[in-house]
Structure 1
């Protein structure tokens, strides 16, 4: 509360530290970014879902390779697939840019995409989540940044009466509000990753909710693990919870079936190990998740988000 007015302090906060207010320069930059995001969503929303997705894909594969982060994407592909010829590396990265551009455009159409009557999302294996749908048992479903990864949280909200999706909000609070508005079309609850997410994950288990998480990005405080044989600190919160409460992790493979169209396949669960101490069991479960991610990436490499520094710093210094 503001001591001078008695009303909530609505000034933006700097995400670098709790309670630190953003300066005027950063606030102006945030507002400019939010205005650009709003215009983008309005422009894409004026098109049909298919045309918006196609335009986003064209922009992604046209502009993306010109950005500095394209070097990170190509380095990641080389680290994961060291025997690939360079033309194939560039082909995978270009497809990834296409997918990223499509995903950005599809935020404006998540309501239409998730509308069951549209047939834009098809499911298989979702009967495996029936205990959570019936409210009888807490369940954890997980995926990675494939195709349009926002479909995971939206699907969980549609399938189960109680769902919690752990998300990564943009650092810009004004952009975060626009993104949240798009994500909320299917209902459910979304919690930004961090300490609050850990508390809400435990509460979701007590509430017998369906918990949806993405487990493929690097966390500086993550558990030591490997991906494609490379050291890669990995998220462990879901695995810790699964081992502690003996809750299976359900891999959810999301594939792009066309512009603004997706297949969601709920695969057989990864059961938490019980034959060792909790720390060892957690590491084994994280390793199993990473192995599944490798399988998905190998099958459709152009649909994964390669533009993120997934591996440890020494891997990029060779």
Structure 2
């Protein structure tokens, strides 16, 4: 049965189809920066993303210079637009990824673990291009799987899944069935790629940028239970706006799930502070912060 969706879903799908069709006719080196420009100057203001970015910056980086803030209101959605078109251009990205180096303190250990068939969990965030790493592992013959959250618009979701599936490897949907697949994948000595920076109402209250952020402990819990190595990994966009470096940080020391997950939050925070334009500041990462801050101000008086 073909999923027709609501009227709103169909309109969004038509807009996406036109957007991808027009940009898809352009060479990749023009397509990516143009997508960034469109999202930064047209989409972001219309959808109110600049206000959300500004609110999040106020919350965790209140001392940010005004000029830097204005820059981020443009550069954050620009990176988002580039990421968006890259995800829908998997074949073009393969050439970019083929020339993307693995760097960082954990790169050698990660490659050794993959060669030995050890279970590995690599954790990133909505930062840079988080699919560059998965694509690179596939091109090197690695057994990698990713976890995704189904999109609300089922029409767009089908197209999105088709695009990210073209990268190769396995994909598991968030939920009970997907979790079971992840476990089998790890038990078979595979590599799981996960993102950790979305608000999880059933997660644990940890710290991110010094503020409470509810975070899932699943990466740390699985690493402990299935004796998987745990690495923070980032696809960092380079100054040319098209190429990447894959930075693999040192393995997270084995301790307990909460401590290990906080280490992942701290790692991502350091990367975002170093490259704030490459993180998705449109996320509601600190849900409930207004009430919390208000209460704190009243108490302070």
Please state which band the TM-score falls in when normalised by the shorter chain. 0.7 to 0.9
- 1:105 matched to which residue of 2? 85
Rate the CA distance shift 1:129–1:158 in 2: closer, same or farther, 3 A: farther
Q: Quick one: distance in 2 between partners of 1:66 and 1:72?
A: 12
* CA distance 1:116–1:62, change in 2 (3 Å): closer
Residue in 1 aligned with 2:298? none
Q: Name structure 1 gaps, 5 residues minimum.
A: 1-9, 13-23, 274-280
Find the residue that maps to 1:217 and give its secondary structure. coil
CA apart distance, 1:309: 0.6
- CA distance in 2 between partners of 1:59 and 1:250 (Å): 34
Whole-angstrom CA distance in 1 between matches of 2:133 and 2:84: 15
Relative distance call for 1:62 and 1:142 in structure 2 (3 A) is: same
Give the alignment of 1:139-150 within 5 angstroms. 139-150=120-131
TM norm structure 1: 0.83
1:134-213 matches, within 5 Å, as 134=115, 136-213=117-194
DSSP-derived class of the 1:181 partner: helix
TM-superposed deviation, 1:150: 2.4
| Contact 1:132–1:208 under 8 Å retained in 2 | no
Which residue matches 2:212? 231
Q: 1:164 to 1:236 in 2, by over 3 A?
A: same
Please state how far the C-alpha of 1:290 moved relative to its aligned partner.
Answer: 0.7
Structure 1's 222 and 152: CA in aligned 2 closer, same or farther, altered over 3 A?
farther
2:230, 2:251 within 8 Å by CA — same for their partners in 1?
yes
- What is the count of residue pairs matched by the alignment? 289
* Cα 1:207–1:246 shift into 2, 3 Å: closer
Confirm or deny that 1:62 pairs with 2:41: yes
Alignment match of 2:250 (pick from 268, 276, 279): 268
2:219 partner SS: helix
The answer to whether the 8 Å contact 1:231/1:312 transfers is no
Q: Which residue is 1:130 aligned to?
A: 111
In structure 2, what is the Cα distance between the partners aligned to 1:225 and 1:49? Answer: 40
Cα distance between partner residues in 1 of 2:138 and 2:127: 19
**Aligned residues of 2:126 and 2:195 also touching (Cα < 8 A):** yes
8 Å CA contact 2:119, 2:227 repeated in 1: no
Answer yes or no: is 1:312 the counterpart of 2:293: no
How far, CA to CA, are the matches of 1:270 and 1:51 in structure 2?
39
How far is the alpha carbon of 1:52 from its aligned partner? 0.8
1:243 aligns with 2:218: no
1:117 positional shift: 8.2
Residue in structure 1 matched with residue 195 of structure 2 by the alignment: 214
Offset, 1:31? 2.6
2:76 to 93, 96, 119: 96
CA distance in 2, matches of 1:93, 1:215: 23
1:116: Cα distance to partner?
Answer: 6.4
Counterpart Cα distance in 2 of 1:217 and 1:147: 15
* Among 55, 58, 63, the residue aligned to 1:78: 58
- Look up the match of 1:299: 274
The residue aligned with 2:261 is: 286
Specify the alignment match of 1:30 in structure 2.
9
Q: Name the structure 1 match of 2:241.
A: 259
Partner Cα separation in structure 2 for residue 43 and residue 187 of structure 1: 26
Q: Distance in 2 between matches of 1:174 and 1:165?
A: 21
